[in-house]
């Protein structure tokens, strides 16, 4: 499918000649997400006796969004793409027991995010008639609608790692616009970096051993306008 769209956009006369003059554009987006954290732990874990190492494990997810694009000029657009992102992550704690065995205890963090990004898009002139390259940057407020912050511990006594639902993130990315016969198709690669420490402080080894937990996400989007 992508090959057909690329061929439709690249060859022949320029498509959608009046498209770039319109003040507003609308569309929808969907794509792949890779969710992770930038984690900082205490420099000396010796106070926790058996705790040896803490690391994060990124996981895959997906996102859906609605595109609103405001033309600011020949090469600049202002974009607002509210959407939902679905995914989870693992924080792994390597624990060495008195027997010498090392066991990895994984804390799963499931999330459904409401994303509200505002971005500036700087695009090139058309290349090969129907292709534009661009860079994009801006900020995003995100809210985890199933945050574990207020959840009670399960009856089996397992400790739940609790995170704050609110985050502010910087976003940077690159992409290509392909002007097809009846619509514009876009592929985009974007990174998000959270500013806020998401961890809720609690009196247990899993929370107190971590000093900072900030979002770091990769997103590959396919956009139709």
Domain boundary assignment for the chain: 2-224
Find residue 26's DSSP bridge partners.
68
Does residue 215 contact residue 169 with C-beta atoms inside 8 Å?
A: yes
Please, which residues bridge with residue 186 across strands? 177, 223
CATH 2.30.33.40 given to domain 2-224: no
| 144 Cβ contact partners less than 8 Å away, ≥ 6 residues apart | 111, 112, 113, 163, 165, 166, 167
Sign of the CA dihedral running 132, 135, 138, 142: positive
In angstroms, what is the C-alpha Rg of the chain? 22
Distance CA 134, CA 177 (A): 8
Helix (H) or strand (E) holding 114: strand 102-123
What does each of the 225 residues of the chain score in pLDDT, given as a tens digit?
555 455 555 556 889 888 888 999 999 999 999 999 998 888 777 677 777 788 888 899 999 999 999 999 999 999 999 999 998 888 888 887 766 677 888 888 888 999 999 999 999 999 888 999 999 999 999 999 987 655 555 555 577 788 899 999 999 999 999 999 899 999 999 999 999 999 888 888 788 888 899 999 999 999 999
CA dihedral defined by 199, 201, 206, 211, rounded to 10 degrees?
A: 60
Token pair for 89: 């992550």
Collapsing DSSP to helix, strand or coil, 76 comes out as strand
d(CA 95, CA 111): 26
- The span from the CA of 168 to the CA of 123, in Å, is 25
Q: Which is nearest to 126 in space by CA: 17, 7, 49?
A: 17
- CA–CA dist 225, 223 (Å, integer): 7
- What does the block give as tokens for 180? 């097809």
């Amino acid at each position: 499918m992508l090959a057909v769209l690329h061929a439709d956009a690249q060859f022949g006369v320029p498509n959608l000649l009046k498209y770039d003059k319109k003040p507003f554009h609308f569309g929808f987006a969907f794509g792949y997400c890779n969710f992770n954290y930038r984690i900082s732990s205490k420099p000396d874990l010796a106070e926790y006796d058996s705790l040896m190492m803490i690391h994060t494990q990124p996981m895959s997810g997906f996102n859906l969004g609605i595109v609103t694009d405001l033309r600011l000029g020949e090469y600049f657009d202002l974009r607002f793409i509210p959407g939902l992102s679905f995914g989870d992550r693992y924080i792994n704690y390597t624990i060495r027991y008195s027997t010498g065995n090392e066991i990895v205890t994984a804390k799963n963090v499931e999330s459904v995010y409401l994303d509200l990004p505002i971005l500036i898009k700087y695009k090139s002139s058309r290349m090969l008639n129907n292709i534009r390259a661009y860079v994009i940057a801006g900020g995003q407020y995100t809210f985890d609608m199933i945050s574990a912050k207020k959840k009670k511990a399960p009856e089996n006594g397992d400790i739940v790692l609790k995170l704050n639902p609110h985050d502010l993130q910087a976003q940077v990315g690159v992409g290509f616009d392909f002007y097809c016969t009846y619509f514009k198709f876009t592929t985009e690669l974007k990174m998000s970096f959270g500013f806020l420490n998401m961890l809720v402080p609690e009196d247990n080894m899993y929370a107190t051993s971590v000093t900072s937990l900030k979002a770091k996400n990769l997103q590959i989007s396919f956009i139709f306008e």
